[in-house]
Amino acid sequence: MNYREYEEKKKYLLYLIYKERLFEAREAARKFSCSERTIFRIIESLKNQGYQIKWSRAQKKYFLADKSQHPEIEYFLKDGH
């Protein structure tokens, strides 16, 4: 995977997490044609960038703990991605 593909996957994962639509790393890995480990690395990279990504055991999905801290996500979503 090249840098551009990685960044696109990272953006889309952030979108899925923001919309609370990322349920399993396995599903995302299958959709992106990569390993689950790659998905976990991308999530870790997003966390290192300051996104408070959490896993809900009860709902079995990823979510952003505080969406209001990242207004740039709103811009990204309005951009039609």
Q: Is residue 19 within a helix (H) or strand (E), and if so which, with residue range?
A: none
Query: Which tens digit of pLDDT belongs to each residue from 19-62?
Result: 899 999 999 999 999 999 999 999 999 999 989 999 999 999 99
Say if residues 15 and 76 touch (Cβ distance below 8 Å). yes
CATH of the domain at 62: 1.10.10.10
User: What residue numbers bound the domain in which 43 lies?
Assistant: 3-78
How far from 29 is each of 1, 42, 50, CA to CA, in Å? 13, 11, 23
| Radius of gyration, alpha carbons of the chain | 12
pLDDT of res. 66: 83
Task: Please tell me which residue, 6 or 68, carries the higher pLDDT value.
Answer: 6
**What's the domain count of the chain?**
1
Q: How many helices (H) and strands (E) does the chain have?
A: 4, 2
- Look at residue 21 in the predicted model and tell me its pLDDT: 92
